[in-house]
Structure 1
Amino acid sequence: MTTTDQPSRGELIARLNAAGRELSTAAVMFHSALAQLHGLSSTEEKAIDLLQRFGPLTARELGEHSGLAPASVTGLVDRLQRKGFARRIPNPADKRSVLIEAPEGPAEALAPHFEHFMSGMEELYARYSDAELATITGFLTAGAAVQHEATARLTAALPGSRPGGGEPVLTQSQKLTVQTAGHGVVALMAAADPGAFSSARAGMAAGKALSSATGLTGRVLAEKPKRLKLGGHSTADLADQVFPALTASVALLGDIDPGEAENFRSAIRVVVDAAMRTRNPASPAAIAMAAKIGDALDGA
């Protein structure tokens, strides 16, 4: 082939872009099919892959590896946990945060589907020299970094991102969870003692304490709650709303910022203490309710 028969650099780049698009489409279709077989989305399946490759990760680290915004990571982990493909565990290096890991059994169920694919890739690798494989590896690694940055840019404007590096933004659903937990604890402490006068005093003291919360927690609780409906026919009905919200609030705030999860815990404990101080002596019902709230915070 003469020099004039060689494709120009522009033509080579055009062919490379076309081949890259073909590879990207093939990868998306493969992982979509694999995910669908196990009741997952493509994003969920790739998150499991990250957890298998890197081991337990914090939500922040999972976001860094995936390029997803904090709120997207929170929802992603919640979905994986419900489906049994991920779980939150204590972080031995930082008691204020949690790690996310992929349980071995469910995650390993994906492995057999890769055997035929990887066999084909091994045959493909054999066509290239070590030097060529090193060049291809370098190109793919750099290309992944470029696409990772592009993903981060796309997710930067989503709820839960930090515009300009500022405070994370919660979705309305996440705000409602935190507000249900905060205002619900006030209602629970007021309802713990059936006496009308003592209930009113406890509710007022707890509400005042709630309004003193600071940070992201304080700003969310200070907003006028939208669609917040607390109550039911009994204290048990109210508790069924509040305790899951307490656990979920600690988890979602911890995923965004472990320090904010601890701030939330502190704010709720201040609310409980304020309500307890209005009763002298505190009734057995109030003591029991305070203990249950404390246990929920400690176990979250």
Structure 2
Amino acid sequence: MDAARKVLVGEVLGAIVAAGRPLMTERRHPFGDVMITATQMHALFVVAHHAGPVTVGDLSTELGVTPGAVTQLVDTLRTRGLVTREDNPDDARSKHIRLTDAAARSVSEFESAAIARSQWRFADLADDELENLAALLRRVRVHA
């Protein structure tokens, strides 16, 4: 990677961190008194937004941790009433992980509130610019 590209990547990372800082530092929590880690929160949002049923393998890939770590994470979330683990009808060795109804509502409400609080930050961007930004960030994530 040449020096100019490194500088550009650094600028992008800095902008992402700055844009995400308000969300990361908020003290609002979607599950009331149920405290979870950032990784557990990430897992819940992956499950909430996944196109289909989520398996341990899916979460392992998305979170960048071992399947064993995901199993422990899911067990904790199950104990806290946030997810269920159901048999995969296509593979008896695999389980589908789903949000409980209450957790799905909480995640949805949390996201809606976060969007409402953050919309002003994007006021200078036209809709097509927001679409481009979202598409570019998805591409970065896919290749991560």
Aligned length: 139
Alpha-carbon offset, residue 77 of structure 1: 0.6
Map residues 248-259 of structure 1 onto 2, 5 A cutoff: none
More strand by share: 2
Give the counterpart of 2:67 among 51, 70, 80.
70
Alpha-carbon offset, residue 15 of structure 1: 4.2
Q: Which has the larger radius of gyration?
A: 1
Q: Secondary structure at the match of 1:68?
A: coil
Map residues 183-198 of structure 1 onto 2, 5 A cutoff: none
The answer on 1:34 being equivalent to 2:22 is no
Q: Secondary structure at the match of 1:100?
A: strand
Residue aligning to 1:46: 42
Contact 1:35 1:41 in 2 (8 A): no
The answer on 1:82 being equivalent to 2:79 is yes
Q: Which amino acid aligns with 1:34?
A: H
Gaps of 5+ in 1: 1-7, 150-300
Q: Secondary structure at the match of 1:128?
A: coil
Deviation readout 1:169-218 (Å, 9 max, x if unpaired): xxxxxxxxxxxxxxxxxxxxxxxxxxxxxxxxxxxxxxxxxxxxxxxxxx
Residue aligning to 1:108: 105
Give the counterpart of 2:124 among 111, 122, 127.
127
TM-score (norm 2): 0.74
Alpha-carbon offset, residue 108 of structure 1: 1.4
Alpha-carbon offset, residue 9 of structure 1: 8.2
Taking structure 1 as reference, are residues 96 and 12 closer, same or farther at Cα in structure 2, changes over 3 Å only? closer
Contact 1:56 1:102 in 2 (8 A): no
Q: Which amino acid aligns with 2:72?
A: G
Q: Which amino acid aligns with 2:102?
A: G
The answer on 1:137 being equivalent to 2:134 is yes
Taking structure 1 as reference, are residues 76 and 10 closer, same or farther at Cα in structure 2, changes over 3 Å only? closer
Q: Secondary structure at the match of 1:78?
A: helix
Deviation readout 1:146-175 (Å, 9 max, x if unpaired): 5xx3xxxxxxxxxxxxxxxxxxxxxxxxxx
Q: Secondary structure at the match of 1:95?
A: strand
Structure with larger RCO (C-alpha < 8 A, sep 6+): 2
Q: Which amino acid aligns with 1:94?
A: D
Q: Which amino acid aligns with 1:114?
A: E
TM-score (norm 1): 0.40
Give the counterpart of 2:18 among 19, 22, 38.
22
Alpha-carbon offset, residue 63 of structure 1: 1.4
Structure 2 CA distance for aligned equivalents of residues 122 and 72 of structure 1: 35
Q: Which amino acid aligns with 1:112?
A: E
Sequence identity, in percent?
22
Structure 2 CA distance for aligned equivalents of residues 11 and 91 of structure 1: 46
Q: Which amino acid aligns with 1:72?
A: A
Residue aligning to 1:262: none
Contact 2:30 2:106 in 1 (8 A): no
More helix by share: 1
Structure 2 CA distance for aligned equivalents of residues 126 and 60 of structure 1: 38
Deviation readout 1:69-99 (Å, 9 max, x if unpaired): 1111011011011111111111112233221
Gaps of 5+ in 2: none
Q: CA RMSD in A?
A: 3.0
Structure 2 CA distance for aligned equivalents of residues 21 and 118 of structure 1: 17
Q: Which amino acid aligns with 1:142?
A: R
